[in-house]
Amino acid sequence: MASSYASESGQSRTNAPRLCYYGEKSPVKTSMTSGNMGRRFYGCARYGVDVTCGYFEWVDPPMCQRGRKVLPKMVAKMNRLEKELARSRRREKMFCKALFGT
């Protein structure tokens, strides 16, 4: 019985590792641009290390109009709240020092 797994060109199968044009395994990255925030994509294995081959493929389907509008605002709000939280924690520490003198 001949095995049909002999050929290694697994590019068509969705869970097979993607190979970039250098023939190296593409890492999955997450987009942080406002139009595609949080959307994952395959990029060149040498991105940030060497000259990339230009390989690029989305993992997730495009985001709906509503999500594209709302998500960047939510992220901005979260960042703002986190900063506020850090500030009030610092203030709390200062108050404790002033009140209890430790």
Opening angle at CA 65, ends 62 and 70, nearest 5: 110
* Residue 44 binds Zn ion, judged by CB under 5 A: yes
Three-state secondary structure call for residue 38: coil
Among 18, 20, 36, 39, binds Zn ion (CB under 5 A): 20
* Residue 22 binds Zn ion, judged by CB under 5 A: yes
Consecutive H or E run containing 42: strand 40-43
* Residue 53 binds Zn ion, judged by CB under 5 A: yes
Q: Which stretch binds Zn ion (CB under 5 A): 31-39, 44-52, 73-81, 86-94?
A: 44-52
